[in-house]
Amino acid sequence: MSSDRTGQGSIHDRPGPRGRGAERSMVPPAEFTSYYGHNVVKPSPWEHDIPAYLFAGGVAAGSSLLAAGASLTGRPALRRTGRLGALVAFSFSMVALVHDLGRPMRFLHMLRTVKLTSPMSVGTWILSVYGPFAALAALAEVAGLVPAGATQGRLRWAFRLLDRFGGPAGVVAGVTAPSVAAYTAVLLSDTATPSWHSAYRELPFVFCGSAAAASGGLGMIGAPVTQAGPARRFALGGALVELVMERRMERSMGLTAEPLHDGHAGRLMKAAQSLTVLGGVGTLLAGRSRSVAVVSGVALMAGSACTRFGIFEAGQRSAKDPKYTVVPQRERIAREGPTRYPDHPVGGP
C-alpha cells in the first residue's frame, strides 16, 4: 500500500520552479514528496579536512608502496621521494583528521576500542600500524641525509638503529599501505549519504587508482626520469583504473550519480577527469623529459585531489537534497517492495 502512491506524482518536493528542468531527462521524473524540501539524512559535518585527508592518505599509501619497491630495486631517489612524501602526506593527514574533530583533545579516544563495524576505527588502527613504520622509514631516509660526522655523537645508537630498521620498516609500511588507500572508500560508503553509499562497489578502486596516480605523480616530480619508471607505470595504471572505474561507478549509482555532474562537485569531477587524462598522456612522454614529468605529475596529483574533493562534495550535496534519499528508495519499493529480511536490498540505504 505504500508504494502505489508515488506514481501519482501529485505533490512536489519543494515550492518554486527550481529543480524541475529538462536536464533531468536522464533520470526518471523526480516526482516525490518531502517535508518542505528538507533533507532526510544529514550531510556529514566534515569540512575540507576530510577530502584533503583522503587525498593525502592516498599519496602517502602510494608513496610508501613506491618507496618500498624503490628500496628493494635500488632506486634511492625514488625511495627518498616516496618515504619523505609518505611522511609529509601522512603527517598532513593526521593534522587534518585531528583538526576535523569536534573535540581534538580527545583524539586518543579513537584508540579506546577496536570497532570492526566502524571503518573509521579500522582505519585508525591501520594508520596506527602504518604510521610508525612509514615514519621510521622516513626518519631513516632523513638520517641518511645527515653528514656522516654528525651521526657519531651521543645519538649514535639511534642512527645505527635507523640504518638497520629503515629498510624493513619501509617494507612493512608498503605492505600496509594499500589498506590505507582503500579503507577511505569504505569510510565514505558506510554512510547513509546517497552518493557515497551507492558508490561502494567501485569507490575503493577509484580511490586506489587515484592514490596510485597521485603518488606516481609525486614520484615523477621527485625522482629523476631514470629512476621514475615504476612511478610512471604506477601512475599510468592508477589513472586508467581511476577513470574507468569512476565511469562504471556513475553508471551503477543511478540517480545518485547526478550530484557528480552538477554544480561545484560536477566541476571538480570534470577537472579531475581532464587533469588525469592530461597527466596520463603526459606520463607516456615523461620518460624523456623531467619537465614533462613534473607537469604530468602535478596534473595527476591535482586530478587525484579533484576526484577526492568532487566525490566528497557530491556526497554532501546528495545528503542535502531529499530527492537522492527518497527517490531511490521509492524506486526500490516499486521494483522490489519494501525491504524485508532476509532479502537484502541492492543499492543504497
Partner 1 sequence: MFGKRNSLYGPVDPAPETGYVDAPARKGFFTDTSICIGCKACEVACKEWNDVPGEGFDQLGLSYDNTGSLNANSWRHVAFIEQPRKAAEEKAPPVELGMPALRPDGVGATDVGGAGGSDGAEAMDFRWLMSSDVCKHCTHAACLDVCPTGSLFRTEFGTVVVQDDICNGCGYCVPACPFGVIERRKGPQGSKNVGIAQKCTLCYDRLTVGETPSCAKACPTESIQFGDVEELRERAQRRVEDLHGRGVMDARLYGNDPDDGVGGTGAFFLLLDEPEVYGFPPDPVVTTADLPRMFNRATTAGVALLAGAVAAFVGSRR
Partner 2 sequence: MSRSFLGWPVLRQLRGSDPLGRGPAVRSKATESLAPRTATADRVARSVCPYCAVGCGQRVFVKDEKVVQIEGDQDSPISRGRLCPKGSASKNLVTSDLRQTTVRYRRPYGTEWEDLDLPTAMEMIADRLVKARNDTWQELDEKDRRVRRTLGVASLGGATLDNEENYLIKKLFTAMGAIQIENQARI
Q: Which residues bind partner 2 (CB under 8 A)?
A: 108, 111-117
Query: In terms of CB distance, is 111 or 158 closer to partner 2?
Result: 111
Q: Is 83 in the site for partner 1 (CB under 8 A)?
A: no
- Judged by beta carbon, residue 28 or residue 156, the one nearer partner 1 is 28
Task: Please identify, among the stretches 139-147, 148-156, 161-169, 175-183, the one whose residues bind partner 1 according to the rule CB under 8 A.
Answer: 175-183
Dihedral sign of CA atoms 99, 105, 111, 112 in order: negative
Among 27, 77, 135, 175, binds partner 1 (CB under 8 A): 175
Peptide bond into 342 cis (omega under 30): yes
Q: How far is the C-alpha of 261 from the C-alpha of 53, rounded, in Å?
A: 23
Q: Select the binding partner of residue 182 from partner 1, partner 2, none (C-beta < 5 to 8 A, by kind).
A: partner 1
Binding partner selected for residue 72 from partner 2, partner 1, none, CB under the kind-specific 5 to 8 Å limit: partner 1
Which residue in 21, 22, 25, 102 binds partner 1 (CB under 8 A)? 102
Closer residue to partner 1 in complex, CB, 42/164: 42
CB under 5 to 8 A by kind: which of partner 2, partner 1, none does 226 bind? none
Q: Which does 155 bind (CB under 5 to 8 A by kind): partner 2, partner 1, none?
A: none
Query: Using the rule CB under 8 A, which residue among 37, 144, 167, 266 binds partner 1?
Result: 37
Contact predicate 85/59, CB 8 Å: yes
> Closest Cα partner for 174 from 243, 246, 72?
72
101 touches, from partner 1, partner 2, none (C-beta below 5 to 8 Å by class): partner 1
The least CB distance from residue 101 to partner 2, in Å, is 16
| Interface pick for partner 1 out of 53, 133, 183, 309 (rule CB under 8 A) | 183
Q: Choose the contact partner of 162 out of partner 2, partner 1, none; CB within 5 to 8 A by kind.
A: none
Cβ closest to partner 2, residue 112 vs residue 154: 112
Which lies closer to partner 2 via its Cβ, residue 22 or residue 108?
Answer: 108
Does residue 124 touch partner 1 according to CB under 8 A? Answer: yes
* CB of 282 closer than 8 Å to CB of 299: yes
Looking at beta carbons only, is 143 or 182 nearer to partner 1?
182
| Residue 120 beta carbon to partner 2: minimum distance, rounded to whole angstroms | 13
Per CB under 8 A, does 110 bind partner 1? yes
Q: Give the chain's radius of gyration (CA, Å).
A: 23
- Which CB, 117 or 152, lies closer to partner 2? 117
- Stretch of 129-137, 260-268, 271-279, 325-333 lying at the interface with partner 1 (CB under 8 A): 325-333
Contact 304, 276 (CB under 8 A): yes
What is the chain's length?
349
Instruction: Give long-range contacts, CB 8 A cutoff, 24+ apart: 183-188.
Output: 183/119, 183/122, 183/123, 183/126, 184/53, 184/54, 184/57, 184/58, 184/123, 186/119, 186/122, 187/119, 187/120, 187/123, 188/54, 188/311, 188/312, 188/315
Residue 185 interacts with, from partner 1, partner 2, none (CB under 5-8 Å by kind): partner 1
- Tell whether residue 214 is a contact of partner 1 (CB under 8 A): no
Cα(221)–Cα(232) distance, rounded to whole angstroms?
A: 10
Query: Which three three-digit cell numbers place residue 291?
Result: 619537465
Stretch that binds partner 1, among 130-138, 150-158, 194-202, 247-255 (CB under 8 A): 194-202
